[in-house]
Amino acid sequence: MNKIKSGLKTDQILNFFERRKDSLFPKTDNPVTIQKGFKSRREMIKNLASVPLLGAFFFGVARKTGWASMAENTLERVILKSNDSSSLRDTSKLKGQMPKGKIKNLEISRLIPGGNLVAGFVYSRDLLWASALVKEYFTDEKVIEILFLSEACGIDTTIMRTDDHTIRILKEYWRRGGKIKWIAQTYPKDEDFSNIIIAVDAGAVGAFAQGGNAENYLKAGRIDLLGKSIDYMRSQGLIAGTAAHIIDIPKTCIANGIEPDFFMKTFHHHNYFSAPSEDREGYSWCNEPEETAAFFKSCKIPWIAYKVLAAGAIKPTDGFKYAYENGADFTCVGMFDFQIVDNSNSTIAVLNSDLKRTREWYT
């Protein structure tokens, strides 16, 4: 068939795509290897997707005839979704390079995507449907797309849970050539380190005890078991840490001679609409921001601050500035794909501004 219903000849269509290929799918931004010319079906699919009417017609024919393979159907979904609100995902709008630091010998971007959204956890106050919506949005392909977009923004590390769902997605992302490193949120219990072993076997470069687990050790009066978990992580060649929702965790660690390679601690101010106040209850994921900042001012261990935007209640530039000015070395933030470029730019702008930081950078 030499013509498609539009009346255009096939060679005219291909010439049109040849002219637009480099601008629409630059090699540096596109995670799928681009073959020269239009000899592959995948290349044809990719470029037809750039013209919505023609692309929709083509995909309809492909499905009916069985011409499109499973891999091509996956690629189709990623491309059509990524063209929506493309200006929010446009890496050409980046305003500089992502600053980086180090924990031991591991280089890490200052902005680190968190994994709660990937796992379907969302702090939505009293919105009961939000977690279900997030689970529907963060398909395997969407998460892979987000990882590649993060990589294009200079983000080189992610923090995600240690579970089968996360590991399956990361392995596929790495199989396709992804380079982002994984710091694993793990769940040690007493002296059972099996979840840490899973993370090591799956390719993690670092690990930490999840905040709830660490707090359980503290309640049981067994902070020594948290220390053993950290020691085990180190013995496996990982950078090793612990998370905490309360400042008592890092304080108790230091008091008992437990010095991880990094702490993760929630941190944000309370200047937002739904925050707690003297006359009403509110929502806070860091109840003691001043005490947290004071502790880390004298602590020489790298600090990854998380929940710095109070689950979306604080504007990124405001939250990042507060965290970095008060001593955080890195920020871990859950992000949708349409937030990554803007949050990267906010991080770059804040870290290149005249920060009134009193703590040294411990990296």
What's the pLDDT at 126? 79
Confidence class for position 35, pLDDT limits 50, 70, 90: very low
Strands (E), 218-302: 239-244, 262-266
pLDDT in tens, 231-275: 999 999 999 999 999 999 999 999 999 999 999 999 999 999 999
pLDDT in tens, 106-132: 999 999 999 989 888 888 777 888 888
Token pair, residue 324, equals: 């970095």
Confidence class for position 82, pLDDT limits 50, 70, 90: very low
Token pair, residue 239, equals: 């950078």
**What share of the chain has pLDDT > 70, as a percent?**
76
What's the pLDDT at 47? 47
What's the pLDDT at 131? 87
Look up the pTM and report it: 0.77
φ and ψ at residue 192, rounded to 5 degrees: -90, 110
Token pair, residue 288, equals: 């003691």
What's the pLDDT at 69? 46
15-29, 162-176, 182-196, 342-356: range with lowest mean pLDDT: 15-29
Mean pLDDT of 312-317: 96
* Domains, in order of start, for the chain: 10-84 (no CATH), 91-351 (3.20.20.100)
Q: Which of 265, 354, 276 is nearest to 304 (CA)?
A: 265
φ and ψ at residue 183, rounded to 5 degrees: -100, 120
Q: Can you tell me whether residue 73 is helix, strand or coil?
A: helix
Torsion on CA atoms 230, 301, 322, 155, rounded to nearest 10: -70
Place of tokens 């880390």: 296
Contacts of 350 (CB under 8 A, 6+ apart): 317, 320, 321, 324
Separation between Cα atoms, residue 242 and residue 267, nearest integer Å: 15
Place of tokens 């000849």: 9
Which helix (H) or strand (E) covers residue 186, if one does? strand 181-186
Confidence class for position 25, pLDDT limits 50, 70, 90: very low
